[in-house]
Structure 1
Amino acid sequence: MMGNTRELPAPQRGDSWNTYECATVLCAVDGCDHGACQSGPFFVVSISLDEDKVATTIMYSSDTGTWSTPASLDLGFIESDISISWMHGVLSGGALHFILMHDDARLGVLKYDLGTSCLSEIEPAFEIQSARFDSHALIAPEDGQLGIARLSGFNLSVYWREVCHDQVATWTKSEVIDLKKHLLASNPMISHTELVGSVERTTIIFATTNIGTYMIDLKSLRSKKLTSELRLFNHPWALFPYFSFYNPDKLRTRSI
């Protein structure tokens, strides 16, 4: 957006860059509010899955100009084939999270801890794992929670992950939201919906329909149509949410 480009060196792993399935760019400044950090130090986290069902994550630092030691997780004990969702990862609790898609329509969550460089898998609630053919999106609001939004037809529910003091994690299901009352009210021609992402540090999700893409705030339950170009089954991975910002230090004020 700023017109700047920066070419990164290829990871020294004997693999080509295009073996990685997805990548995420992160601000590298602790405590940054991300209001004007476009020129600051950054991390790039890349993740891949090979034919042996081994997930590998590696992180680039703009400060050092080098890639970290790869972190790997063997998922070979899982019988089904696995792929990483085309949706971008979300940052929650100092870790990046990605959705794992199994060929039998089950879901998993891959977690990469930025502090320990440890890669692990989170097991979602059973109801999510067995939700065949439903669409899902990760949610990471500002309070550090991790949630999974599940859309079945027009019925939307959110499962929140809570970690107890004994480090045992549980999933709590929210009240089911009927999107017919919110989307169809604005356009009765909507017949299909699919989740295509969320905005970090908020409870905003995006749903692509047969007539366009909508932004939905899960707190206010307000929806807004964004575009008619990005439709269901028409390259939903092109969606990339961002916040616009300004630098208050450069503002000039005058009294009237």
Structure 2
Amino acid sequence: MAPEILLRLPPDDPAYLARAALVCKPWRHLLTSKAFLGRYRAFHRTPPMLGFVLNLKEHFDGMTRFFPTSSFCPAAPDYPGMDVLDARHGRVLLQTPRGQRLVVWDPVTGREWKIPGLPVYALGFNAAVICAAAGCDHLDCHGGPFRVALVGSDDHGTTFACTYSSEAGAWSQRIVIQEPAFVNARPSVLVGNTVYFTCDPYINFKIIGYNIVAQELTVIWPPSQHEYYSCTVIVKAEDGTLGFAGVRTEIWGGKLGCARLYLWSMKTNPDGGVEWVQRRVIQNKTMLRTRGLSNPPEVVGFADGPGLIFVRAGNTVFSMELKSGHVRKVYICRSRNYEVIVVPYMSFYTPGHAMGRLPSP
């Protein structure tokens, strides 16, 4: 009976499993066994969000910090002089402020992998980290092979992409398209084998898709109703397709009025074309408040597994569970004058990972 009960301990608060492992030696042996941990992850299916990573721009040289939303906290939560780009499959992708070097960090194990310098000069770029283990269910990717997918642009109006493989220890050859696109650092989305990135609207507001298997680049235009890219973010829709979330705010007498959050998903037409379909409209007076603000609320992050969306209103960042509608305050910015990007970190943290930190029962 004990294994069936322990299977149901919530994964979003690892302290429950850690305390159970300290009850007695038989429980500790059970909770650290590969068989039980495999059943535990399969039972819960979706890795929980253990925290999120932010760039703290109030520091002169910049700093990346891990903010726990559970009882888990990495041994070294701060990375001075680094910016966060992405987090996926148990890993976080960091870069030096000027982008000369990339670092992959596993907060659960504390391991780091330094990536060789970028293979080409880029005016702007973004990158994503992806598990590369064949047949992996992405429930326990720690320590396995990974790829870093990079998309950037140069000063000749060319958009390029390439992939770093931890197994080969090298970057792939570049693929290019003659499409000017200033790729920004807002969160990327993985749908199937394609990583999607957004671009600043200095030329045109667009989305670049990079299929890392077929080695192809595609250009997608966002919904025309959302012209202010700073209020938007790409997401993974509930049906597993590429999605889009954006806030639209009414202006009454020169002041901010009602704000609504719009959720879209990509649909393929019978003739092979694609179009955006509006799925939901959300109006929440707590998360989407506008009274007393000089700038409209902004969507600043999305967590695929738990279905969380992050919105900044003034100096406050809120999270909303899309299924339940539950809203909570997750971060207070020290200043309203810098951009905030929330990068959620999702992974299982079990006694098997924490063996070195647990005292003997």
| Same fold per superposition (TM over 0.5) | yes
Give the corresponding residue for 2:186.
87
Q: Is the 8 A contact 2:201 2:229 kept in 1?
A: no
Q: Is the 8 A contact 1:199 1:205 kept in 2?
A: yes
Q: 1:174 aligned to 2:279? A: yes
Higher Rg of the two aligned structures: 2
Give the corresponding residue for 2:247.
151
Name structure 1 gaps, 5 residues minimum: 77-81
Query: Matches of 1:145 and 1:42 in 2, distance apart?
Result: 23
Instruction: Please state whether the residue corresponding to 2:343 is helix, strand or coil.
Output: coil
Give the corresponding residue for 2:146.
42
Q: Is the 8 A contact 2:244 2:265 kept in 1?
A: yes
Give the corresponding residue for 1:79.
none
Q: Could you tell me how far 1:110 is from its partner in structure 2?
A: 0.4
Give the structure, 1 or 2, with the largest relative contact order (CA under 8 Å, sep 6 or more). 2
Query: Matches of 1:116 and 1:63 in 2, distance apart?
Result: 19
Q: Could you tell me how far 1:140 is from its partner in structure 2?
A: 0.9
Q: Is the 8 A contact 1:198 1:206 kept in 2?
A: yes
Q: Is the 8 A contact 1:194 1:232 kept in 2?
A: no
Query: Matches of 1:148 and 1:142 in 2, distance apart?
Result: 11
Query: Matches of 1:251 and 1:75 in 2, distance apart?
Result: 47
Give the corresponding residue for 2:167.
63
Instruction: Give % identity.
Output: 25
Q: Could you tell me how far 1:141 is from its partner in structure 2?
A: 4.1
Q: Could you tell me how far 1:30 is from its partner in structure 2?
A: 4.0
Offset from partner CA, 1:95-125 (integer Å, 9 cap, x none): 0001122227x52110001220101101233
Instruction: Please state whether the residue corresponding to 2:225 is helix, strand or coil.
Output: helix
Give the corresponding residue for 1:101.
200
Match of 1:7 among 104, 110, 114: 114
Stretch of structure 1 that moved more, 196-205 or 112-121: 196-205
Q: Is the 8 A contact 1:194 1:207 kept in 2?
A: yes
Q: 1:116 aligned to 2:214? A: yes
Name structure 2 gaps, 5 residues minimum: 1-106, 250-258, 356-361
- TM-score normalised by L of structure 1: 0.80
Query: Matches of 2:352 and 2:111 in 1, distance apart?
Result: 22
Query: Matches of 1:3 and 1:146 in 2, distance apart?
Result: 32
Query: Matches of 1:248 and 1:167 in 2, distance apart?
Result: 48
- TM-score normalised by L of structure 2: 0.59
Q: Could you tell me how far 1:167 is from its partner in structure 2?
A: 2.1
Amino acid of the structure 1 residue aligned with 2:220 = I
Query: Matches of 2:335 and 2:304 in 1, distance apart?
Result: 22
Amino acid of the structure 2 residue aligned with 1:50 = D
Query: Matches of 2:237 and 2:350 in 1, distance apart?
Result: 24
Q: Is the 8 A contact 2:123 2:182 kept in 1?
A: no
Q: Could you tell me how far 1:179 is from its partner in structure 2?
A: 2.6
Sort the Cα spacing of 1:180 and 1:250 in 2 relative to 1 into closer, same or farther, 3 A. closer
Q: Is the 8 A contact 1:139 1:203 kept in 2?
A: no
Q: Could you tell me how far 1:31 is from its partner in structure 2?
A: 4.1
Q: Is the 8 A contact 2:140 2:347 kept in 1?
A: no
Query: Matches of 1:25 and 1:133 in 2, distance apart?
Result: 23
Q: Is the 8 A contact 1:183 1:190 kept in 2?
A: no
Match of 1:241 among 344, 354, 359: 344
Length, aligned pairs only? 238
Q: What pairs up with 1:124-203 in 2 under 5 angstroms?
A: 124-128=222-226, 131-132=227-228, 135-141=231-237, 143-153=239-249, 154-180=259-285, 183-184=288-289, 192-203=296-307
Sort the Cα spacing of 1:5 and 1:241 in 2 relative to 1 into closer, same or farther, 3 A. same
Amino acid of the structure 2 residue aligned with 1:156 = L
Q: Could you tell me how far 1:134 is from its partner in structure 2?
A: 6.0
What RMSD over aligned residues (CA atoms) do the two structures have, in Å? 2.8
Query: Matches of 2:157 and 2:248 in 1, distance apart?
Result: 28
Query: Matches of 1:97 and 1:235 in 2, distance apart?
Result: 20
Sort the Cα spacing of 1:134 and 1:234 in 2 relative to 1 into closer, same or farther, 3 A. closer
Query: Matches of 1:170 and 1:204 in 2, distance apart?
Result: 24
Amino acid of the structure 2 residue aligned with 1:61 = S
Q: 1:207 aligned to 2:311? A: yes
Amino acid of the structure 2 residue aligned with 1:139 = V
Query: Matches of 2:239 and 2:178 in 1, distance apart?
Result: 31
Query: Matches of 2:312 and 2:334 in 1, distance apart?
Result: 7
Sort the Cα spacing of 1:88 and 1:168 in 2 relative to 1 into closer, same or farther, 3 A. same
